[in-house]
Amino acid sequence: MEFDIAWLWGLLGGLLIGGAAAGYLLVNGRIMGASGIVGGLVDGSGRDTWAERAAFLAGLVAFPALVAWLAGGAETHLTGNWAVVIAGGLLVGLGTRMANGCTSGHGVCGISRLSLRGIVATVFYILAGGLVMAVARHLLGWV
């Protein structure tokens, strides 16, 4: 008998994500936003805290690579359409830095403190995502 327990892995993984965000707040005194941590290095605005950012990113890149390898490998199933990959990356980078946050900063850290900006951002990126998905997948067949 086979159950789809993706929701359970989702919940457990979510608790780890929230635990990491809680640790980063209570130990380091920082808000765990992926786009902000990497973006501050890219545009120089996080120069003063570069080592802390770099350490976080090192853990973020290296540890899941190790864990996924030990677990027998992982797949991202990213599309092979380069135009879509590049357009997606540009929009994600530009949009998250314009909005000053992404799914972790505005979503996880913002909603949990009932931040109006976090809630508004999350509503807009989910609505825009749903709309673009409907058009790109069901009308245009791009993704």
Partner 1 sequence: MARLVSALLCGAVFGTGLWLSGMTDTTRVQGWLDVFGDWDPTLAFVMGGAILPMIAAWLVAARRRTALLGTPMPARGETPVDAKLVVGSTLFGAGWALAGLCPGPALASLGYGGTGGVVFLLAMLGGMVAAPAAKARLDRITNAPRT
Q: Is 3 an interacting residue with respect to partner 1 (CB under 8 A)? A: no
Alpha helices for the chain (secondary structure H):
6-23, 34-42, 50-70, 82-98, 111, 116-133
Quote the least distance from Cβ 30 to partner 1, whole Å.
7
Residue 142's SS3 state is coil
C-beta closer to partner 1: residue 47 or 134 = 134
C-beta closer to partner 1: residue 47 or 58 = 58
Give the span between the Cα atoms of 63 and 40, in whole angstroms: 22
In single-letter form, the type of residue at position 114 comes to L
Q: Is 130 an interacting residue with respect to partner 1 (CB under 8 A)? A: yes
C-beta closer to partner 1: residue 47 or 67 = 67
Residues 62-121 that bind partner 1 (CB under 8 A): 62-69, 73-80, 82, 84-100, 102-104, 106-109, 111-113, 115-117, 120-121
Closest CA to 35 of 104, 90, 85: 104
